[in-house]
Every structure is written in C-alpha cells, then in structure tokens.
Amino acid sequence: MFGELAVGYLFLGGAGAGSIAIASALDLACVRAPFGERARVCVDEAAPAERAVSFGMLVGLACLLLGIVCLLLDLGRVDRALSLFFSPSLTYLTLGSYALVLLAALGTLLTAVRFAFFPGISRRVVSVAEAFAVLAGFAVMLYAGLLLQGVGGVAFWRSPFLPVLFVFSALSCGFAIVLLAAVLAGLEKPPVRLVRMLVRADAAVIVLEVLTAALLMGTAQADAHPAVAQSLARLVEGDLAARWWVGFVACGMVVPFALEAMFSVSRQPSLAWSAVAVAAVLVLVGGFCMRGAVVEAGSHRDLVLEKPDAQALRLE
C-alpha cells in the first residue's frame, strides 16, 4: 500500500509543512519583515534574519510541492484526488487533503511576496496568511501520522504515539531547513540571535521526539499482538535496525542534539556554524529514515502458495 513515493510524500510533506509553519511563526513573532509599499524591492537588500525566513519559506514550499507530486504519482490517477474535493466526506483523508492544498496556496503567496514586489499586499494581509499557514502546517504534519494510524490492517501503526512522533519529526525537519537557510543566507553576518533561538527550540523538540519514540517502542513491547511484535523485532534487531538506530536515533536525534549543544557553548564561529549545518542535514536524514522504517515495519510478508503434497492428500 505504501511504497517509495508514499514515503517520499510523508517526508517531504512533513518537512515542508514544518518549514513553512516555523518561518511564518518566526516572521510573526520577531522578524516582522516589511510588506506593501515598504517592502524590499530585492530580497538581497533584506537583513540576514529576513533572508533566512524568506529562503526557509522557499525551500519549505519546494519540499511541500514535491511531496504533493509524489502523492499524486503514488495514487496513479488524478481523478482519485479530485474526488476528495468534489465528493467530500468527514475523514482524515479529506481534511488532510484540504489542509495540504490550503498550505500550498498560502506558501505560494508568502513566498511570492518575499521574492517579488507587491505594493498592494500589506503587512496585515501577510500576517493573516502567516497565521493560517501555521495552523495549516500543523494540520498537515499531524495528518501524515493519522493517515497511517487509520489503516486498520496494520496493528503497529495504531499506536496513539505515532501521529505525535510524526509531528515532532516534521517540526525538527522544519527547524533544520530554516537553520540551513539562516546559515547560508547570512554567511557574511549570520543572524546569531535567530540561530540560537532556532537551535534551542530544535533541541527541545528533539528531546520530545526521543520521549515519544521511546513511548512508541515501549507500548509496542507491551502489546501482545503478534503483528506488533513482528514489526518491533524488525526495528530493534531485524532488517530495519540500521535504518532505525543509526539513521533515525543516532543521525536524526542524538548527534544533532550533541552538535547543537556544542554550538551553544562554542566560541569559535567557524566551528559553530559548521556544527549547525551538519546537525541540520543529519536531522533531515533522520526524518527520512524514521518514516521509511515505520512504513516498512508495517508491511506484511507476501503469502506464498505452496503446492499440496500428494502424499499428504492421500486418503488413509
């Protein structure tokens, strides 16, 4: 049911939603870039913090749109997606699809006003769009986990901690994208205050992600369902162990947390910025590995039809 394209959507959609939501929240809370007649004619003229938000929004939108393409390719037929809008029903799939389209539209608007001059769009209009982008972003982040949880045939995905883990992972990936944008957009004069704020927030999210992953594994360990035990065994010591422990736990949480702690105490700027960039890249690697491992852990072994033994069929 869920192949490589679906995993690609789960990762790109979550990372894109997290990046758009975080960039919007940053602009609302502390950056507050000018728009309308006071807007920058060129993004290169903006302050490093404004450029970080702008490029974080741009990369987030690109990830989200690419994730939507993966989703449509995985469906195989566009009319299946259109039926959700022409014949809506109150389901996670329908609500998530509406949130996905809304976020893509808002992300496109918020990216356009940062890279092109629109004097007719005021700061108030942008602030309203950013507020809705934050809400839609969280809905998209939660929707991915709820989509897996709603699949009745996979017991391992029915854990209440799975959607929470997807939200924290998407937030961490969103922080990683904005952090990379902040470092790359302000190489000459990095926005130190903004980067420190993002690093501390991401470290807190990683701690919550660790706790949620532990609860997910703990509840699976206590579950007597044989399919849950099989999925857990694949993650802990089976064919998915490297992807889970090395890709997700080590690369996605432990090492980035250590590097972000190093950034907080380091007094060597070049080392500090390198640590932030490496941590951000590893977070993205971990987010992809987690989704791939969780999806693969829920897959079932294909049934093999064996030829009946003639001796066994012989009537005594």
pLDDT tens-digit readout, 47-104? 888 888 999 999 999 999 999 998 888 777 666 666 665 666 667 777 888 899 999 9
Query: How far is Cα 175 from Cα 198, in angstroms, rounded to an integer?
Result: 7
CA distances 225 to 158, 185, 263, Å, are: 11, 50, 44
**CA pair distance 63, 184, nearest whole angstrom:** 18
What span, in angstroms and rounded, lies between the C-alpha atoms of 7 and 171?
17
Lowest mean pLDDT among 77-81, 121-125, 194-198, 205-209: 77-81
Tokens of 290: 């987690």
Whether 141 has a pLDDT exceeding 90, the answer reads yes
Q: Which residue has the higher pLDDT, 36 or 243?
A: 243
Both tokens assigned to 213: 């992953």
Contact (Cβ atoms closer than 8 angstroms) between residue 195 and residue 276: yes
| More confidently predicted of 273 and 246 | 246
The letter for the amino acid at 94 is T
Q: According to the model, what pLDDT value does residue 18 have?
A: 97
300 pLDDT higher than 70: no
Residue 279 has pLDDT above 80, yes or no: yes
Looking at residues 250-258, what average pLDDT do you find? 96
Joined together, the tokens standing for residue 48 give: 């490093």
Is 70 exceeded by the pLDDT of residue 124? yes
- The SS3 of residue 303 is coil
Percent over 90 (pLDDT), the chain: 53
pLDDT of residue 57: 94
Measure the CA–CA gap between 48 and 44, rounded to whole angstroms.
9
| Size of the chain in residues | 316
Q: What local confidence, expressed as pLDDT, does residue 49 receive?
A: 84
Q: Is the pLDDT of residue 29 over 70?
A: yes
**Phi and psi, residue 37, nearest 5°:** -70, -20
What is the average pLDDT score of the chain?
85
Amino acid at 240: L
pLDDT of residue 224: 87
Q: What pLDDT was estimated at residue 168?
A: 97
User: CA 24, CA 32: separation in Å to the nearest integer?
Assistant: 10
Most confident of 152-156, 190-194, 237-241, 295-299: 237-241
Rounded to an integer, the average pLDDT of 200-221 is 95
What sign does the CA torsion over 255, 178, 62, 45 have?
negative
| Among 186, 134, 184, residue whose Cα is nearest residue 23 | 134
Assign 125 a pLDDT band (cuts: 50, 70, 90). very high
